[in-house]
């Protein structure tokens, strides 16, 4: 404007300081204002504003401090682009010294967090304390429990769609953990050379301590080896078997009457000494009662075959 005065630079006097220490305000190139020998300080509540797009540029690192209660570096941006929050020397794109809260962690542009890997956590650093949380404790992961007892401990339902379940530990032995009343277990047991399905432990101490029940359809492609009793009913046909001694009665299949059954008996165990001649007689009557002679030498296996309506 007419009448404006032009200066290469303006020095602002500082009492008690040499001339060269006075703050210098100058224009070193077109559109660029320099402040030398001094910091730029604004009163409280003031701000730096851009009327349009703006830039904050440094020839080195950008460091943001707060002075309360003491001057502390809070945010650091290095020339290589690494950003530190509470970390003055970040070695990755973002390093945070402290707790981070976010509504979403998204990685690898997939939205599933698949790029969040190699998370190193201590015993209490991966949980929110709620019973529905995912928790980490001593190398174990718990879902719905904060005290997992195995590598993966789930308190709740597990659903697997279009998936297989593999037991790959070839030297695992039967642990007996399913012996707890009310528990059941599936184990790949090297000691039993089999996949063991341990039914629900009834905990009653009765003749049936474990129960596995199958609904609908069971197909066995191979031999069927039964070491205990068989009780059941197939399309109007019932079958039951049991070990019986003298004077005992063969059990009836569930859902049938004794009048609908025919009974059979054969020798299961025979006890005698070397050189002893034994004559054995096993008789079963129409009610399923077994008579054995001599009674102390033989244990019989009794079978009841039933048909709805009788034979």
Averaged pLDDT in 10-residue chunks for the chain of 311 residues: 64 71 71 72 81 85 84 90 93 88 63 52 53 74 84 85 83 83 88 88 68 83 76 76 91 91 87 76 92 86 90 85
- For the entire predicted model, the pTM comes to 0.41
The predicted pLDDT at position 233 comes to 57
The predicted pLDDT at position 223 comes to 81
Q: Which pairing describes strands 185-189 and 152-154: parallel, antiparallel, or unpaired?
A: unpaired
pLDDT per residue as tens digits for the range 140-182: 888 888 788 888 888 888 887 777 888 888 998 888 777 888 8
Q: Which pairing describes strands 261-270 and 298-307: parallel, antiparallel, or unpaired?
A: antiparallel
**Sheet strand arrangement including 24-29:** 9-11, 24-29, 32-36
- Give the DSSP H/E element, type plus range, for residue 73: strand 72-77
pLDDT per residue as tens digits for the range 242-291: 889 999 999 998 889 999 999 999 888 777 777 777 788 889 999 999 99
Closest CA to 299 of 256, 241, 245, 258: 245
Name, in order, each residue with C-beta under 8 angstroms of 150's C-beta and a sequence gap of 6 or more.
140
The predicted pLDDT at position 257 comes to 93
Name, in order, each residue with C-beta under 8 angstroms of 96's C-beta and a sequence gap of 6 or more.
84, 85, 86, 87
Q: CA torsion, points 151, 186, 169, 152, in degrees to nearest 10?
A: -10
Asked if residues 256 and 263 have their Cβ atoms less than 8 Å apart, the reply is: no
Closest CA to 247 of 302, 192, 179: 302
């Amino acid at each position: 404007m007419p009448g404006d005065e032009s200066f290469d630079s303006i020095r602002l006097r500082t009492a008690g300081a040499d001339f060269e220490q006075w703050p210098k305000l100058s224009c070193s190139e077109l559109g660029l204002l320099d402040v030398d020998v001094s910091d730029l300080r604004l009163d409280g509540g003031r701000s730096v504003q851009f009327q349009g797009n703006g830039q904050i540029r440094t020839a080195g690192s950008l460091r943001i401090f707060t002075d309360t209660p003491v001057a502390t570096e809070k945010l650091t941006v290095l020339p290589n682009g690494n950003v530190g929050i509470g970390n003055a020397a970040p070695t990755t794109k973002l390093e945070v010294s402290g707790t981070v809260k976010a509504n979403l962690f998204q990685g690898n542009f997939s939205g599933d967090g698949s790029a969040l890997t190699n998370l190193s956590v201590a015993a209490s650093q991966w949980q929110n304390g709620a019973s529905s949380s995912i928790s980490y404790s001593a190398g174990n992961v718990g879902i719905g429990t904060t005290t997992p007892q195995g590598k993966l401990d789930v308190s709740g339902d597990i659903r697997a769609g279009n998936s297989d379940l593999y037991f790959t530990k070839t030297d695992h032995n039967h642990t007996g953990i399913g012996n707890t009343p009310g528990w059941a277990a599936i184990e790949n047991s090297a000691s039993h050379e089999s996949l063991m399905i341990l039914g629900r432990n009834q905990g009653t101490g009765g003749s049936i301590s474990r129960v596995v029940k199958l609904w609908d359809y069971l197909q066995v492609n191979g031999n069927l080896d039964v070491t205990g009793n068989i009780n059941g009913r197939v399309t109007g046909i019932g079958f039951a078997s049991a070990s019986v001694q003298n004077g005992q009665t063969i059990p009836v299949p569930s859902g049938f009457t004794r009048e609908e059954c025919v009974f059979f008996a054969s020798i299961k165990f025979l006890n005698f000494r070397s050189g002893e001649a034994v004559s054995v007689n096993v008789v079963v009557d129409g009610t399923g009662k077994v008579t054995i002679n001599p009674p102390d030498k033989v244990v019989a296996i009794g079978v009841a075959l039933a048909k709805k309506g009788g034979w």
